[in-house]
Structure 1
Amino acid sequence: MLAFLSFAGFTLLVAGIAWYKTRHAHLTDSTEGYFLGGRTLTGVFIGGSMLLMNLSTEHLVGLNGLAFRTGFIVMAWEVMAAIAIVAFGLYFLPKYLKLGISNIPEFLERRFDRDTLMITSILFLGMYVISLLPIVLYTGAIALESLFQVSHVFQIDKTTALWIMVWGVGGLGAVYAILGGIKAIAIADTINGAGLIIGGLMVTLFALAYVGNGDIWAGLSDVYQANPDKFNSIGDEESLVPFSTLFTGVIISNMFFWCTNQSIVQKSLAAKNLAEGQKGVMLCALFKLIIPTIIILPGIIAFHIFQGHLDNPDNAYPRLVQLVLPEFLVGFFAAVVVGAVFSTFSGGLNSSVTLFTVNIYRKRLKPDATEAQTVAVGKYLGLGLALVTMLVAPLVANAPDGLFYLIQQLQGIFNAPILSVVMVGLMTKRVPAIAAKLGLLFGMTAYIICNFIIKVDIHFFHLVGILFVLNVVFMLTIGYFFPANTPYEAEYTKQVDITPWGLVWPVALLIVLGSISMYVFLAQDAPQYVMYGYYVCAAIILAYVFYSMGKELMKRPELQQSTTEEI
């Protein structure tokens, strides 16, 4: 009962704050307000919303399940994500905000043609419905079933209980997304994001205290000494995530997700200016370096506690939470888990609706549609997509290599083709539209044939990397022999101030250093020359960071005024 009360209390608190913050904003009356929050988001809300759009139950359940199986080598997704986010903040975001676009396919229409926009919009819609939203709902259902024992309370089998959880959470998430728009989502995401990080850290600390009989440090030592192989960051070629894949498909997948994926990019496109957007992006990247303590370490602790014996490793995290958290905290954490599901689910629905209404409905089906008609169609579409997702969700059960790994494999269909077309579009001026369309179709078809039909004997991440390079070469070759008649010239708008944040470069370097540091210190038996090289590079980067921060600090008017008065 106490768990349920704390669950209901925190859920209502988040909903109340989101309503209060947006009650007078009228941001659901227009397409820009509904899809981009009126371009008013500040750094904290952008960073929190991006983080929670990414961090959901497919991470808490799925990635901890993979860590239960393999250990810290699965941190590749999180650590490389921080580097990809830095690249987004430094290169991609300034270009997107200058163009004044509301979604990525809109840029591809300007750069290539309307058919390219149509193809990428359909690909994004397919990705959300096939590889993201169903798995988010299903992993959320697993977590809630384990935390609240729904099947036991209502005396029903677990399959039925999971269906109930899928439809309950999915239905509420759909209402949340359809009625609130992106600003309500961003505000609730930020609160839930803080709760998820706090709650996740509590699970880790309580679990370590459980192992160490009240002593957290002793618990960590026990887990490490009993399972040293689980703490190695370097995976061999036979492992689930070989180290070599960091430089092929892992970085490509992360670049796609953080630099071109509509559901993520849309949060930063709603920034009030570039500086606030970059602050939010770097805040998200910084948190990604902390996240392994929440979505990887608990899986290893669970492996230690349960002695590696669980019928399904994807149940490791929910079982651990139920075991180590006090009852009132179980309810709070369940509320945070539901919030995380709402975030990713509602964010994915909002992005899907944006893609359809802006790129298909208003451009192909009804060009003369009013703002009110467009928003109304978007809400009906969101409801329809939610229903389809809830029907598909339970069908992803029992993935052989875990649910998170299944997501990565399915997203391989989309990430290399879309990222390659966006990058060629940004970096060239004469590659024609036909190259982009053929590149999208070739990349998607080749991956499906090679990975799912022929099943070539190569890690799917290497396949993603190879296809990305082939796609880029393919498009550049067409552009060389059949260039566009007129070069593309970007038309920059003045919708937002694009003055960059003064500290963006030093903070970016600090985050990259943190990413490398995690790999260096968790790599077992690293050569001495690697360590010496790391220390030299770290010293240079830190010196630059402190110099830049001091220089930026002296630019503040109050400091300049006090210095002048002293003189």
Structure 2
Amino acid sequence: MAVDNSTSNPHAPSLQLRVADIVIITVYFAMNVAVGIWSSCRASRNTVSGYFLAGRDMTWWPIGASLFASSEGAGLFIGLAGSGAAGGLAVAGFEWNATYVLLALAWVFVPIYVSSEIITMPEYIQKRYGGQRIRMYLSVLSLLLSVFTKISIDLYAGALFVHICLGWNFYLSTLLMLAITALYTIAGGLAAVIYTDALQTLIMVVGAVILTVKAFDQIGGYEHLATAYARAIPSRIVANTTCHLPREDAMHMFRDPHTGDLPWTGMTFGLTIMATWYWCTDQVIVQRSLSARDLNHAKAGSILASYLKMLPMCLMVMPGMISRALFPVWDSGHLSHTDDVGCVMPSECLRACGAEIGCSNIAYPKLVMELMPTGLRGLMIAVMMAALVSSLTSIFNSSSTLFTMDIWRRLRPRAGERELLLVGRLVIIVLIGVSVAWIPVLQGSNSGQVFSYMQSVTSSLAPPVTAVFVLGVFWRRANEQGAFWGLMAGLAVGASRLVLEFLYPAPPCGDVDTRPAVLGSIHYLHFAVALFALSGAVVVTGSLLTPPPPAAQIRNLTWWTLAKDWPPGAKTGDTKKQAFWARVCGINAILLMCVNIFFYAYFA
């Protein structure tokens, strides 16, 4: 059911933007354009390396900020807060798990990627395994995932936020943001994207901190959060059901492996498999680390991003819970706000947000409109625009890199740098056109929780890719035949479950669950483990039944065959200075893991 954009919508905002709000939003866009132009002028945009990898001369702080901002799109703001409103704290595990795989990216994967002298991840796979079919498959899969999950989810979340907060027609507002985003992405390449991401990170964190402080002040502090959330029961419920009740384990990270909405077994193993795909093999993320001037800057960037990934628990998940808990009673005979965010009656959810299955996705924008005063409301709108722009710039640049370097160069092997750069810029325009054409589909989306939907899709498609990369890095015997058939077997099984999920969506509260057992009884995080194991087994079996790859083919491409004088051709500088900063990075990595483990134990 589509979101109603008409003025008759009872939930169209009564609060209008004031001059201060408009000034703040204008200043935000002006700063964005200024930083984009400045970074574009600094970088070499007329070479493939300069445009797609920022000349491999990025320092640690913009890399870390960009890694964080690229993953914290509008979809994550809306999705994490919505999942927090629906189920409590456990969804923060998706963010905290990133700590370990980000460290693996810098300490394990980046040395191999740089040693192999590649620009895209499919290019590494071709060098490691040989042949063209795996590289083409991964390129096409990555582009499809970018358009129909990453871009679509961010556009849907951004449109929902603009609609709830401003009542604007989201076609116009989304087109405006897309135009500004594409402008400096096309003009400046990766350097412009990374530096503007650093600006977005600052704006996002400042705005989210202000809203979080006001939200906790409104509810009476953290000590009252659990009690208030437990009482956040909708005024209208579906009889003889319990789906309207807040979860008893809402304040716990580790949940029952059989009955938990996010079982601890899936969050430990399945999530790690999916996170390895996203942080260590996905072009959007890895491209930032490949732009580092040396390994220490790549490591420091990962550490900074890991520290920032600890923040969404307080800045997104808990505010989502507070949004559900703030108005738990009837107000003058009208439905309270709890019935908007925490509604379970399909008719009431349809009225509140246009989706019968639930309205937890409106938790964050509702909080913004209720708590933020004039001026700060404009700042939060800028924050959400920053989140949307950051994510889209990253996806546009990386998708253009994939198409140009892996598909176009394959079709036209003699294409010069000028042609490749032109194609890279034109691809972004095509992506914008596809994204805008997809808006009506997004507007009619009725998935209950955007974040869970995104992870469910990932669990069906990413594990085979993770298996191929991990075995390629750590097992010298893996060959092209085994890798290809492992990907095909994983695709067949994963796509089958994905089709079933679209054919049999989760039923609304009170309806009988008629979904097949593979959906109803196997959590998507557990399915990711099974799919990873199946794909890995096919890779191993196929590799053992066929000849091993020649030694020359895997030189500098696996963990065991890296050159001793790695990285070849890198800017080593003063050896003692490099060694000192390497120790600093190592100490910070250990400290970071200790902090992460402490928080896991505290909220377990």
Contact 1:108-1:422 within 8 A present in 2 as well: yes
1:490 to 2:555 alignment: yes
Letter in 2 for 1:69: A
Unaligned runs of 5+ in 2: 1-18, 231-247, 329-337, 341-351, 353-358, 501-515, 557-562, 573-577
SS in 1 for 2:528: helix
| Cα distance between partner residues in 2 of 1:82 and 1:15 | 31
- Aligned match for 2:339, one of 298, 301, 309: 309
Correspondence for 1:40 among 33, 57, 79 = 57
What amino acid does structure 1 have at the position aligned with 2:339? H
C-alpha distance in structure 2 between counterparts of 1:375 and 1:17, whole Å: 22
Q: 1:232 to 1:389 in 2, by over 3 A?
A: same
1:477 aligned partner: 541
Structural mapping, 1:21-100, within 5 Å: 21-25=39-43, 27-100=44-117
1: CA distance between counterparts of 2:149 and 2:380? 25
3-state DSSP of counterpart to 2:339: coil
For 1:179 and 1:431, locate their aligned partners in 2 and report how far apart those are by CA, in whole Å.
41
Which of 285, 298, 305 is equivalent to 1:284?
305
Report if the CA contact (8 A) 2:63-2:288 is conserved.
yes
SS in 2 for 1:327: coil
User: Shift of the alpha carbon at 1:414?
Assistant: 2.7
1:67-96 superposed Cα distances (whole Å, 9 cap, x missing partner): 000000111201111121122122112222
- C-alpha separation in 2, matches of 1:105 and 1:320: 42
- Residues 491-500 or 462-471, more deviating: 491-500
| Letter paired with 1:287 | L
Q: Which of the numbers 174, 178, 187 marks the counterpart of 1:170?
A: 178
1:514 aligns with 2:595: yes
1:164-243 to 2 correspondences below 5 Å:
164-212=172-220, 219-227=221-229, 229=248, 230-236=250-256, 237-243=258-264
Q: What amino acid sits opposite 2:204 in the alignment? A: L
Q: How does 1:541-552 map to 2 (within 5 A)?
A: none
1:13-53 CA-partner distances (Å, limit 9, x unpaired):
1321231233253x221211111001111000100001000
Q: Is the 8 A contact 2:39 2:188 kept in 1?
A: no
Aligned to 2:267: 246
Cα deviation digits, residues 523-557 of structure 1 (max 9, x gap): 2xxxxxxxxxxxxxxxxxxxxxxxxxxxxxxxxxx
Question: Is residue 438 of structure 2 the alignment partner of residue 392 of structure 1?
Answer: yes
- Three-state SS of the structure 2 residue aligned to 1:23 is helix
Are 1:410 and 2:471 counterparts? no
One-letter identity of the residue aligned with 1:272: R
Within the candidate set 381, 389, 408, 2:427 is matched to 381
Preserved contact between residue 49 and residue 193 of structure 1 (Cα < 8 Å) = yes
CA contact (8 A) 1:143 1:318 kept: yes
- Tell me, yes or no, if structure 1 residue 428 matches structure 2 residue 458: no
The one-letter amino acid of 1:20's match is W
Q: Which amino acid aligns with 1:3?
A: D
CA distance in structure 1 between the partners assigned to 2:416 and 2:498 by the alignment: 44
Going from structure 1 to structure 2, the CA distance change for 1:306 and 1:199 (only over 3 Å counts) comes to same
Question: Superposition pairs for residues 433-448 of structure 1, below 5 Å?
Answer: 433-448=480-495
Residues 242, 405 of structure 1: alpha-carbon distance in 2 compared, 3 angstrom cutoff: same
Partner of 1:334: 381
TM-aligned CA deviation for residue 178 of structure 1 = 1.6
CA offsets per residue over residues 284-338 of structure 1, 9 Å max, x none? 0111112211120100110111333213111110010111112111112222221
Q: Quote the residue 1:216 is aligned against.
A: none
Read off the aligned partner of 1:233 and give its amino acid letter.
Answer: M
> How far off its partner does 1:204 sit?
0.4
What amino acid maps onto 2:533 in structure 1?
A: V
Instruction: Decide whether the 8 Å contact of 1:431 with 1:483 is kept in 2.
Output: no
Instruction: Indicate the RMSD between aligned Cα atoms, in angstroms.
Output: 1.8
Report the more deviating stretch, 161-170 or 263-272. 161-170
User: In 2, Cα distance between the equivalents of 1:399 and 1:478?
Assistant: 41
Distance between the aligned counterparts of 1:51 and 1:306, measured in 2? 32
Q: Which letter maps to 2:117?
A: G
For structure 1, which segment, 234-243 or 383-392, has the greater mean C-alpha deviation from structure 2 after superposition?
234-243
- Alignment check: 8 A CA contact 2:270 2:529 kept: yes
- Deviation readout 1:104-161 (Å, 9 max, x if unpaired): 11110101122211111111111101111111111112222333332xxxxxxxxxx1
Deviations 1:248-293 (A, max 9, x none): 3111111111111110110010001100110001110111112211
1:352 aligned onto 2:407? no
Mapped partners of 1:232, 1:497: distance in 2: 46
AA aligned to 1:407 is M
Contact 1:289 1:514 in 2 (8 A): no
Deviation at 1:243, TM superposition (A): 1.3
Which is richer in helix? Answer: 1
Q: Summarize deviations over 1:408-461 as a string: whole Å, max 9, x none.
A: 112223311111111111112232211111111211221121343366130111
Aligned mates of 1:419, 1:173 — CA distance in 2: 30
8 Å CA contact 2:69, 2:391 repeated in 1: yes
| Structure 1: distance between partners of 2:304 and 2:497 | 38
For 1:58 and 1:240, the matched residues in 2 are separated by: 20
**8 Å Cα contact 1:166-1:393 kept in structure 2:** no
- Indicate which of 417, 423, 444 corresponds to 1:371: 417
Query: Contact between 1:443 and 1:467, CA under 8 Å: does it hold in 2?
Result: yes
1:274 to 2:295 alignment: yes
In the alignment, structure 1 residue 343 sits paired with structure 2 residue 390: yes
Q: Distance in 2 between matches of 1:117 and 1:276?
A: 28
- Between stretches 80-89 and 169-178, larger displacement belongs to 169-178
Measure the CA separation in 2 of the matches of 1:254 and 1:485. Answer: 28
8 Å Cα contact 1:451-1:460 kept in structure 2: no
Superposed counterparts of 1:91-110, under 5 Å: 91-110=108-127
Amino acid of the structure 2 residue aligned with 1:196:
M
Residue 52 of structure 1 aligns to which amino acid in structure 2? Answer: A
Measured in 2, the distance between the counterparts of 1:346 and 1:240 equals: 33
Question: Where in structure 1 are there 5+ consecutive unaligned residues?
Answer: 151-160, 213-218, 524-567
Structure-2-length-normalised TM-score: 0.80
CA distance in 2, matches of 1:125, 1:414: 13
Q: Percent identity?
A: 25
